[in-house]
Amino acid sequence: MVREDNKIIFTGPVGVGKTTAIAALSDIPIISTDAQASDMTLNRKGHTTVAMDYGVLKLDEGTKIHLYGTPGQERFDFMWDILTTGGLGLILMLDNTRPNPKKDLHFFLHAFKDFIVDVPVVIGVSKTDIQTQPQIADYVDMLPEATADLRMLNPIPPIFEVDGRNKDDVKNLVMALLYSIDPGIGG
């Protein structure tokens, strides 16, 4: 059941568009902990999230959703457990232009395995306009292997093509997640 105060976590690799997606959807200016990249991340982008991104989506007068974005770098993984505490669900964003999206899918599902035992997952694949392969059907085919040893609330999470700059695309991810929690939310 969706509460008055809700928390959804966005995660995924560096440069996938988590900060951009939260900014596109948030009803307040986002809080971002970006710092200048100084490692291999510099090859993908100039700044990177080091603690979290935060925004708010107001569904109605009394209901809001807190949107938290995790850092994408594994060296900041201590923040992942902190941010997921009390979360209602996970939005995993994948970047179709990365060398091995299947490896990213597997890595992030396993990194959040303790969280996704109790909450639903929705997957958004970005940059499909730049790199058309793999296609969404390929990600669906990857899921059984990636989740074979995981106990997940929804073993076949919905997968969407998403442009993190597009408010409607990001809203579709959030609504799919909320629908997974409470199927009556759409009506």
**Where is average pLDDT lowest: 29-43, 69-83, 162-176?**
29-43
Closest CA to 12 of 2, 3, 22, 24: 22
Is the per-residue pLDDT at 45 higher than 60? no
Per-chain mean pLDDT for the chain: 85
First to last CA, the chain: 14
**Domain range list for the chain:** 5-180
Which class in CATH covers the domain with range 5-180? alpha beta
Which tens digit of pLDDT belongs to each residue from 101-127?
A: 999 999 999 999 999 999 999 999 999
- What's the rounded Cα separation, in Å, for the pair 48 and 32? 10
Quick one: pLDDT at residue 163? 96
pLDDT at residue 174 in the model: 94
Q: Is 37 a residue whose pLDDT tops 50?
A: no
Q: Look at residue 42 in the predicted model and tell me its pLDDT.
A: 45
Question: Residue 7 pLDDT more than 50?
Answer: yes
Give the number of residues written for the chain: 187
Quick one: what percent of the chain has pLDDT higher than 70?
83
Please state, in angstroms and rounded to a whole number, the distance separating the CA atoms of residues 109 and 112: 5
The predicted pLDDT at position 154 comes to: 75
Question: Is the pLDDT reported for residue 186 higher than 70?
Answer: no
The Cα–Cα gap between 56 and 51 comes to 17
Which pLDDT score, from 0 to 100, does residue 41 have? Answer: 45
Distance CA 73, CA 6 (A): 25
Query: In this model, does residue 35 exceed pLDDT 50?
Result: yes
pTM: 0.86
Model confidence at 15, pLDDT cuts 50, 70, 90, reads confident
Q: Which amino acid is at 33?
A: T
**Does the structure show a pLDDT above 50 at 73?**
yes
Nearest to 154 by CA among 180, 186, 127: 180
Q: Distance (Å, rounded) from C-alpha 141 to C-alpha 163?
A: 22
pLDDT of residue 139: 95
Which residues are CB-contacts of 124 (< 8 A; sequence separation ≥ 6)?
Answer: 21, 91, 92, 93, 94, 159, 160, 161, 162, 164, 169, 170, 173
8 Å CB contact between 91 and 10:
yes
